[in-house]
Structure 1
């Protein structure tokens, strides 16, 4: 359930615009969290948006690569992505599907496009794990589009609830360590929505279609497509669309407040643990 509405509206503390990057075998994407402008936002380590109609931008995909110590969240908007790992797990992500993968103590997996033409669009988010769970067994929470519930909390507002809750509508993802919120919000032109944020969570918005206002009155600030807004200062989020529709992500999580030692696909708490991750990978222990 959501916390009780607070009287103080949340506001934009800082805005960040993503930077062009590439990953995997050359997949073109926009890196929003994980770059020099915003290295992380505890517990979130990375946010990439990928979206292109050009097959040459995505066909090479993400061949086999390792992970340890955190979770990856893949949310597909358009296109199909086949994933496999070295433990025998395999699945196909279709438009609207979500995969929340807990890498834990380690696995090697690949994510490859299952199409040769058309649009490929979506997001990948990295969520840190607390020290006590970094060496846990890998697992997946994977849900097809029809398993993602949709809330209509106000006129002209539609929310796909991946994690967290909107009113009585609860998302299928569960992660007690960070108690995450992950919402895909669509606002029709002129629509307005108020939503309570969990106390103590770090929260951000990422607009990916249109322009909207965050806050109300003289304190409202515009958020444009491909901009991330770090929220703070209050626990009631107020969103308003202008003359055109807008679409955005709301993501929030309980901060871990633990030391982070990361390099490439490994995120641990100490340098010694990080070095051990490389040794374990090279010696085939994943």
Structure 2
């Protein structure tokens, strides 16, 4: 089997979104090697002033979002009437499709927050599908291994030593794996994903070794083609594994909208301004 190697390492950069929420971001709207993913935002702070403003009501079209909380408590509300509690260890998935208006606001007013929001592109044929939403509490997310070497699979399917590892989120707009690997120093993990998938990693704690290449905390690594991923924790580590089938279509991005042409972006803005984005 061919083992995937690191082809590029990208450092996350500080930014703000929502009502002044501090984040660290990596995006690849114009990078085909990111596909089917578009960006990952890491929300991490011990200071409530950095997150208390949350993300008041705002629109999306043409994407899916997967939000995953290591520590903290946010509440999701949307125009469809969904109210979801995103608590420590849980996740929530939303397919904006043709249009969604939602908010993500902190329930907590003190203490540490650490979580992620991942944008996943939708193929053109599904960008105007009806919006969908589902949340997964921590006990619904499948775990494999021990506290010293734990893999939590949120979305999709992969294998290890011939055994299937699956996440509760399966019916998405594009085939995608999102998993969280946590390990103490010197622990290793060898995983297999489809050769059709592109694989990216985001290291949120410690450092990891990928076939002789060190990927430090706060960095995003793109991997080569292959069948196998081999990871070693250089110190206590936490890594998000993002793998999926690439979408070989044009990407045009403006704010919360991701479509295939600028005319489609302009239409999304007109629809939002006219109050018909979600119709």
TM range (shorter): over 0.9
CA contact (8 A) 1:151 1:158 kept: yes
Q: Please name the residue that 1:3 is paired with.
A: none
User: Is 2:256 aligned against 1:265?
Assistant: yes
Q: Which residue of 2 aligns with 1:193?
A: 189
How is 1:57-206 mapped onto 2 (pairs within 5 angstroms)? 57-152=50-145, 156-165=148-157, 166=159, 167-175=163-171, 177-206=173-202
8 Å CA contact 1:33, 1:39 repeated in 2: no
CA distance in 2, matches of 1:45, 1:212: 23
Q: 1:13 aligns with which of 1, 7, 17?
A: 7
Asked whether the 8 Å contact 2:202–2:221 carries over to 1, the reply is: yes
Q: CA deviation at 1:174?
A: 1.4
> For the residues of structure 1 that align with 2:32 and 2:89, how far apart are their CA atoms?
27
Instruction: Pick closer, same or farther for the CA change 1:18–1:270 going to 2, 3 Å.
Output: same
CA contact (8 A) 1:33 1:40 kept: no
Cα deviation, residue 197, structure 1: 2.3
Number of aligned pairs?
A: 273
Report the counterpart of residue 224 of structure 2 in structure 1. Answer: 232
Deviations 1:97-153 (A, max 9, x none): 11110000101111000011001110000001011111111101210000001012x
Q: Does the 8 Å contact 1:96/1:145 carry over to 2? A: yes
Match of 1:276, SS?
A: helix
User: Normalising to structure 1: TM-score of the pair?
Assistant: 0.91
Q: Which runs of 5+ in 1 are unaligned?
A: 1-5
5+ residue gaps, structure 2, are none
Task: Specify the SS of the correspondent of 2:202.
Answer: strand
Partner of 2:265: 274
Shift of 1:89: 1.1
1:41 CA drift (Å): 1.3
Paired with 1:141 and 1:169, the residues of 2 have a C-alpha distance of: 21
TM-score (norm 2): 0.93
Question: Could you tell me whether the CA contact under 8 Å between 2:82 and 2:133 is conserved in 1?
Answer: no
**Paired residue for 1:255?**
246
The residue that corresponds to 2:21 in the other structure is: 27
Determine the C-alpha separation between the residues in 2 that align with 1:160 and 1:176.
Answer: 18
Structure 2 counterpart of 1:221: 213
Distance in 2 (alpha carbons) for counterparts of 1:159 and 1:210: 16
Coordinate RMSD, CA, aligned: 1.8
The answer to whether structure 1 residue 51 and structure 2 residue 33 are counterparts is no
Alpha-carbon separation, structure 2, partners of 1:56 and 1:184 = 27
CA 62–34 in structure 1, closer or farther in 2 if over 3 Å, else same: farther
Runs of 4+ in 1 over 3 A off after TM superposition: none
